[in-house]
Structure 1
Amino acid sequence: MASAAAKKSATTVKSAKGEKARAKLKSAALRVMEQVGYHKMRIVDVTAEAGVASGLFYHYFKDLKSLTLEVLGDFVSHSLQLEDIEKDVPKGDWYERMLAHNRLVVHSYAERPGIMRCLLQLADEDEDFSGLLRQNFIEQLSWLTRQMPKLFPEAAMSEHQSMMVAFTLAGTGEMVLRDYYINREPVLVAEALDAEQMAELITVIFYRGLFLENPPSEKLNYTANLEKVRRRKN
């Protein structure tokens, strides 16, 4: 009879191998979705990409939908690691703080446009996932809305009004990213922007909309000329 320690060791090894196999399937699914989208993804595509037998798929996932939801859910949750996003941002530097958040979003679109398309498609089809995506977006903005009463004490903004302002400004940037990286709107992609230029553009527009002033000029490159875009005083 095997000892309790031996049984525990065997279970641990089996569990570790199982987690490794699940991770391989999830990584493979992410790559396949980027290439063909989740509507065209097949189980055999995922297992072939992962280098495992097709029959093993159902040992770890109920079906493709459950795999898709888990993979895309993990992808979304990565954007909430605020301590990592802001780790190199100087304290009190609001432009750099906004830029750090926007860099993360822009790189997601620029590097994984196929995955971002899948996120939006699945949100249209699955109510629970749509709720997860909306909640993620709101949580991304909550760090700012919590600070707005301190930033603008004379405005006496309510929590709801702060969220509406932040949501409106951020929503504009999201629309640009979708049309640039996913829809490839010809008028937008007529000239190629790298991820840093796009992140700077969105941050400057957000900063100007929130603070009603330009960011420090020494921080700007692609948008430096926008400092001259001002309403002429009568």
Structure 2
Amino acid sequence: MTADRTPLPTSGRFAAPQDREIPTTSRGRRTREALVKGARTVFARDGFLDSRLVDIATEAGIAVGSFYTYFASKEEVLLAVLENVNEGMLHPVMEAASVEHASLADRIRASHRAFLHGYRENADLMRLLEQASAIDPEFAQWRLARDTAFVEVNARWITRLQEQGLADAELDPWLTAGAFSAMIGRLAYSCYVLGLRRDDEDMVETCVRIWMRTLRLEDAEAQR
């Protein structure tokens, strides 16, 4: 399981954080970082609906009027928080999946283990994203873009395996990748947000078996 940098919506009520000019001074960058850090604390504590800009500014230690120098709205600073978390979650997954000379099963195992670890560490924000995307169409768009990035990268990997004669050529790569991504995403949400108790390694090994057997990689692995 790997993923590229997630595209963010660039129109509507708020722009993507990377589209707003990043402060050029060290003081400006520190202030922006403090706002993002403060926003994460407030969002995790109060949820999206009950969070207030004044609380975010107070947590960051700045005047509330200064908030608008860096962000246009509560929605925009939440996107900045989510973008930071997204990068932090995706890089370990990508690194785990790209280890050379590892078996297919080990690459799948390592990437799932990294994904579940990142999800568990950021479960509070995953809950927040679920809440925001359920009530706000533009957050729903961002979430869809994030999910699609996972699916597309996995689909490309499945396609390469098919071209190499390692995976079942009759499977639709995109639909198969979508099913895999939905499976691990919902499993992680159920366990780390809703409180379903399952052993992490049992989840990893189950996902590995599903990947290997669905794609018929076990026979290919035995022949390598």
Is TM > 0.5 for Structure 1 vs Structure 2? yes
Alignment of 1:82-93 (within 5 A): 84-86=95-97, 89-93=99-103
Shift of 1:154: 8.3
**Which residue number in structure 2 is paired with residue 102 of structure 1?**
112
Query: Counterparts of 1:50-129 in structure 2 under 5 Å?
Result: 50-81=60-91, 84-86=95-97, 89-124=99-134, 125-127=136-138, 128-129=141-142
Change (3 A) 1:112 1:153: closer
Offset at 1:62?
0.9
1:146 CA drift (Å): 3.1
> Is the Cα–Cα contact under 8 Å of residues 94 and 111 in structure 2 kept in the other structure?
no
Amino acid at match of 1:200: E
- Provide the C-alpha distance between the structure 2 equivalents of 1:28 and 1:209, rounded to a whole number of angstroms: 44
Structure 1 vs Structure 2: percent identity of aligned residues? 24
* Larger Rg, first or second structure (1 or 2): 1
Change (3 A) 1:120 1:43: same
Is 1:148 equivalent to 2:153 in the alignment?
no
Q: Output the CA distance in 2 between the equivalents of 1:145 and 1:103.
A: 19
- Post-superposition offset of 1:163: 1.8
User: Match for residue 26 of structure 1?
Assistant: 36
The Cα shift of 1:21 comes to 0.8
Aligned Cα root-mean-square deviation (Å)? 3.0
Using the TM superposition, give the Cα deviation of residue 14 of structure 1 relative to its aligned residue in structure 2, in angstroms: 6.2
Residues 155/102 of structure 1: CA separation in 2 closer, same or farther (3 Å cut): closer
Number of paired residues?
195
Q: Scaled by the length of structure 1, what TM-score is found? A: 0.69
Q: Which has the higher contact order (CA 8 A, sep 6+)?
A: 2
1:206 positional shift: 2.7
Structure 1 range deviating more: 175-184 or 127-136: 127-136
What is residue 51 of structure 2 aligned with on the other side? 41
Give, in whole Å, the separation in 2 of the partners of 1:130 and 1:98: 23
Assess if the C-alpha contact under 8 Å between 2:90 and 2:115 holds in 1.
no
- Contact 2:156/2:173 (8 A) holds in 1: no
Letter in 2 for 1:84: E
User: Which whole-Å CA distance do the structure 1 matches of 2:168 and 2:211 have between them?
Assistant: 18
**8 Å contact kept, 2:57–2:63:** yes
CA deviation after TM superposition for structure 1 residue 77, in Å: 4.0
Instruction: Provide the C-alpha distance between the structure 1 equivalents of 2:58 and 2:42, rounded to a whole number of angstroms.
Output: 10
Unaligned runs of 5+ in 2: 1-22
Q: Give the gaps of 5 or more residues in structure 1.
A: 1-12, 217-234
Q: Determine if contact 1:32/1:41 at 8 Å carries over to the other structure.
A: yes
Q: Deviations over 1:36-60 (max 9, x none)?
A: 2222211122222222232321221
